[in-house]
Structure 1
Amino acid sequence: MGQIWFEAPGAIHSFAENASATEPAELLAIFVAEDDCGPLTIPVAD
């Protein structure tokens, strides 16, 4: 039905792809962080 994964704090998620050629992907992301942890994204320079 679904899958889960874990990314460690500070990990950079640089690639994502839908595994199905016919069905749309759905994603639910839950961030567990301390207060005032700073930005949750890291800008990437072109």
Structure 2
Amino acid sequence: MNKPLVFEKPNGFHDILPGPLRRKGELEERILSLMEKWGYEKIET
């Protein structure tokens, strides 16, 4: 029988659980809304 593969996250990466992730999303939406009112547009790099 083969051993299951063990996955280790790379250094600097971590999980965000559902509750904190929901709050993070809400905060991001508030910030994006405010920035759009000031004329900024979202970019991604």
TM-score (norm. length: structure 1): 0.21
Task: Give the number of the structure whose alpha-carbon radius of gyration is greater.
Answer: 2
TM-score (norm. length: structure 2): 0.21
Structure (1 or 2) with the greater helix fraction: 2
> Greater relative contact order (Cα 8 A, min sep 6): structure 1 or 2?
1
